[in-house]
Amino acid sequence: MTFLKQLNRILEELLDSTALQIDKELLIPCLDLTLLKENSSKESISRMAQLAQKHQVAALCVYPHDLLYIPPSFSVRRASVINFPKGLDSVISCKQQITIAKKNGAQEIDYVFPYVMYLEGNHSSALTHACDVIAFCKANQLGIKVILETGAFSDLELLYQLALELIAMKINFLKTSTGKTETGATLSHALTLLCAIKESGAPCGLKVSGGIKTCSQAQYYAFLAQLVLQKELNYSWFRIGASSLLQELLNEPALTEPKQSY
């Protein structure tokens, strides 16, 4: 067993009894309901939007082109992903994606930090990329969440220092994962980001995403965030990105894609 796996297991054991006391209803307003399938149908996005509206989650997160399928009367925040999922697009491409997302109604951007570039040692180039994209979002009055793909970081100190540098750019949220890699959110990586937020003293939030499918998982992260930052749960600083978690919290079956007729 690796050190990180041991650490995650220990954290889970430490949080277990207390974290599970968190009321599930407190988690629903903190959800970023997510539908990021390449071929999502208009009907499935419309159904997800209805669910988000009914339960007043924090946001609905979809691809830029799928924002068009969200009804005009939708009152929940609209979020979209940029430089997704591998973080390999140019700054110019990212700005084009952001422009399209805003035109289609986005209010928040979930941007994948160029973590591959960063982990290859090109720290300055990766941070410059992020700085340019973040500034463009701000100029367009868009909230900005930066996805670090934390599962790619085995060095927690490196992740911590990166988080501090990104927080200094006055972002709205640090986000753990795209949910498209083998390792999504983990307690140890989330703790690292929370410690960076606490150290900075900045009004930066945390969004955990990537493999969070059960009520207990969500409760662990929520309690950990409360414990480190000493705040009451609120969507303004804590989010959970998930596609099926809402149904778990409501004890309802998950939505499925409607069958195609030919």
Q: Which residues are catalytic?
A: 110, 175, 207
Q: Percentage of the chain surpassing pLDDT 90?
A: 88
Distance CA 24, CA 45 (A): 24
| Residue pointed to by tokens 């959970």 | 240
How far CA 66 is from CA of 74, 100, 111, 124, 222, in Å, comes to 14, 11, 16, 33, 29
Domain ranges of the chain: 3-250
pLDDT of residue 262: 26
Residue of 87, 101, 89, 96 whose CA lies nearest to 142: 101
Do the beta carbons of residue 229 and residue 222 sit within 8 Å?
Answer: no
* pLDDT value at 253 more than 90: no
- Diameter of the chain by CA atoms? 57
Distance CA 49, CA 56 (A): 10
pLDDT of residue 17: 77
Do the beta carbons of residue 255 and residue 247 sit within 8 Å?
Answer: yes
- Domain spanning 3-250: CATH superfamily: Aldolase class I (3.20.20.70)
pLDDT of residue 258: 42
pLDDT digit string (tens) for 39-68? 899 999 999 999 999 999 999 999 999 999
Distance CA 54, CA 59 (A): 12
User: What is the token pair recorded at 216?
Assistant: 């207990």
User: What is the token pair recorded at 219?
Assistant: 């409760």
Of 38-42, 101-105, 144-148, 250-254, which range is least confident? 250-254
With residue 193 as reference, give the H or E element that holds it.
Answer: helix 187-200
Quote the mean pLDDT of the chain: 95
pLDDT digit string (tens) for 186-223? 999 999 999 999 999 999 999 999 999 999 999 999 99
* pLDDT value at 102 more than 60: yes
pLDDT of residue 127: 99
pLDDT band at 14 (very low <50, low <70, confident <90, very high): confident
pLDDT of residue 252: 63
| Residue pointed to by tokens 């307690």 | 187
